[in-house]
Structures are given as C-alpha cells and as structure tokens.
Amino acid sequence: MARHSIARTGLAALSAAALLTLTACSSEPPAAEGGEAAGGGDELISVGFSQVGAESGWRAANTKSIQDTITEENGFELSFSDAQQKQENQISALRNYIAQGVDVLAFSPVVETGWDAVLEEAKAANIPVVLTDRAVETEVEDAYVSFIGSDFVKEGEMAGEWAAEEYDGEGYKVVELQGTTGSAPAIDRKEGFASAIEGTDLEIIDSQTGDFTRDGGKKVMEGFLTAHDDIDVVFAHNDDMGLGAIEAIEAAGKTPGEDIKIITIDAVKDGMQALADGKINYIVECNPLLGPDLAEVIKATVAGEPVEERIVVKDEAFDQEAAVAALPDRQY
C-alpha cells in the first residue's frame, strides 16, 4: 500500500519557490479581488468538505480556518459536514458531494485506510480531491491532487527528543495517551516518539487510546493511575487528552507538571495556558490554520495550474517560558 503516496492529476510539481509561498501560511488570505471567482470566471467554485468531527480545540481552530477562508467572498461555495469521528459518515458525505457534482472534494480522513472505493468514485466523476491534515493509505492511482498538513512523525520525534534530553538517566516510566486508533497522527506520533527515546532509559509502560478527546484522556489516565503507581511522564498525542490527564492526576492527589510530567502536541490556547501555569511541561505545535493553503490549492487545481502534491505545514515547540511569551498573540 502506498502511504503518503504521490498522487497527481497529470500536473507538474510546483517550483521550490512556489511551494514556499504555499507552505505554513499563518494568516487568512485577502478576499479575491473584485469578488471574481478563483478560477478566473464569475462562477463560485463549489467545494464539499468533510471534517473529522469536533473532538478537540485543534479541530475547532481547523474548522474555523476552513470556514473563514473557503467563503463566497473568496470565490467559493462551501458545503461542510462534521463526521463525528466516524468513517462511515465521512464516506457518505463524500458520496453526497459527488452526487451533487461539486467542483472539488476536500477532507481530513479520520483513519488512514478504507478510502479506495470512494476515491475511485471521485476519480470516475472527475472531481479532484484535496486531503487536509491527515493522510490516507490507498491503492488508487492519482487519488488526490494534494495533501496539506503537518509531519506527524516529526512532531512525535520532537516530543521524544525533548523528553530524552530532559529525563534520560532518571529511569522514568512513561504512559502514552494515543489519538484515534488507525488515524495518521496516532500512528505517526507514536512511531516518532518511540524512535526518539530509543537508547535512553525512558520506558513506555502503558499506551492506550483516548480518542483525541479531553474526556477520553481523563478516563484512560484514571485507569493508568489505578494500574501503575510509578508513572513519571505522560506523553499525550494532543493537548485535550493532556488536559484530561491533568484532571485525573489532580483528582488522585498528585501535582501535574511536577509529580508527573506531561508532554503534549497541538499548542492550542488551553494547552498553552496549562504549560504557562506549569501543569504541562512541553508542547509540540500542530498548526491547524490550513484554510489559506487549501484555498490556494483549490484555485490552482480548478485553473489547471500545477499544485504541489505534499505541502508540509511548519510546526514549532514550546517550553513554559516560550508559552508565556506566545500566549498573548496566540490565534487559536
């Protein structure tokens, strides 16, 4: 199976310079001039977007970025649906959009596999597909024109490298709160973190899914605390699960950030506030502001211009001091 497979619609790759302009936009783009549609004509580009759900602060910020950018003012007509973290809901939304004959399909796939049939259907209907945020594994050739999102393996590595630098030599026991089972960020962050702590004396003693939700993180952490009395570090695949873990740790009479260190991924406002307050120790960012890049890719695709098949969004990382400095200007 091709993971992160190269998929094109017969379009040449953009030059490195052009790629740079598409990568890591952090602000919303201006409206298309004169209200003209993006393809160059007067008609709006119809876009069917299937979102994963509303599971986290990150997802809320990502949805806002898309809805603020794929607007009539910018030349688009957006049909948006929330799949409530269920693949069957995403597939049925995509099928509806195909039946409606939208110009472009976009989606953030809840899990990596199981998309071949609907991707074939989109291809047969000649509707270009853009992936945002999460990757798919597919056998379908030229299944999508572009995949816009972070490098999740790198995020896991950054988290693991910081843990190794701070805690190697202490013999610390780590528990891991995984994201949604089968999703690209859960698979990749797990892999990246494990590879970064290899060769250190940090040991992952338990690892379970909290489904990227605050409630899930809290419940799984309660179970970890009951099963293990020697937890030193929590690695949570997102801020929300880390925030749930904080509640469980406090309820167990321990101090998060001190008795049990916490490392998370996302850097949304609530997570950054907990980091600034010393309850989380380190956060690797996952930038949710994908709307501007999505708008550019759709416009280029519809205009028959080349698009880059992989647009990697740049992420930073924050310790307590950096979180205090970044919080006042944080957009999400």
Instruction: Check residue 153 for interaction with ligand AHR (CB under 6 A).
Output: no
Vertex 214: Cα angle to 238 and 326 (nearest 5): 50
Work out how close the CB of 238 gets to ligand AHR at its nearest, in angstroms, rounded to a whole number: 3
Binding-site member from 22, 44, 51, 58 for ligand AHR (CB under 6 A): 58
Whether 163 and 317 have beta carbons less than 8 Å apart is answered as no
Residue 59 vs 299, nearer CB to ligand AHR? 59
Per CB under 6 A, the list member of 50, 115, 134, 147 interacting with ligand AHR is: 134
H-only helix segments in the chain: 16-22, 57-69, 87-100, 116-124, 152-167, 184-197, 214-227, 239-251, 269-276, 291-302, 320-326
User: By CB under 6 A, is residue 133 in contact with ligand AHR?
Assistant: yes
Of the chain, the end-to-end C-alpha distance in Å amounts to 35
Q: Name the minimum Å distance from CB 38 to ligand AHR.
A: 26
Residue 286 is a binding residue for ligand AHR (CB under 6 A) = yes
Pairing of strands 282-285, 261-266: parallel
Judge contact between 83 and 53, C-beta under 8 A. Answer: yes
Stretch that binds ligand AHR, among 56-64, 113-121, 163-171, 247-255 (CB under 6 A): 56-64
By the rule CB under 6 A, 59 interacts with ligand AHR: yes
Does residue 290 touch ligand AHR according to CB under 6 A? no
Q: Does 266 bind ligand AHR (CB under 6 A)?
A: yes
Tokens representing residue 264 in the block: 């998370």
Nearer of residues 76 and 152 to ligand AHR, judged by Cβ: 152
Least Cβ distance, residue 113 to ligand AHR (angstroms): 16
Tell me the sheet residues that pair with 208.
177
Q: What's the min distance (Å) between Cβ of 174 and ligand AHR? A: 19
Closest distance of CB 105 from ligand AHR, Å = 18
Q: Nearest approach, Cβ of 294 to ligand AHR (angstroms)?
A: 14
Nearer to ligand AHR, 249 or 268 (CB): 268
- Of 184-203, which residues contact ligand AHR (CB under 6 A)? 185
Q: Interface with ligand AHR includes 112 (CB under 6 A)? A: no
Whichever of 109 and 128 has its CB closer to ligand AHR, that residue is: 109
Residue 34 region by backbone torsions, left for phi larger than 0, else alpha for psi between -120 and 50, else beta:
left
Q: Which residues pair with 91 in a beta bridge?
A: none
Backbone angles phi, psi at 223, to 5 degrees: -65, -45
Contact in structure between 40 and 305 (CB atoms under 8 Å): no
Cβ-Cβ contacts under 8 Å for 326 (sequence gap 6 or more):
272, 318
Interface with ligand AHR by CB under 6 A: which residues? 55-56, 58-59, 133-134, 185, 212, 238, 265-266, 286
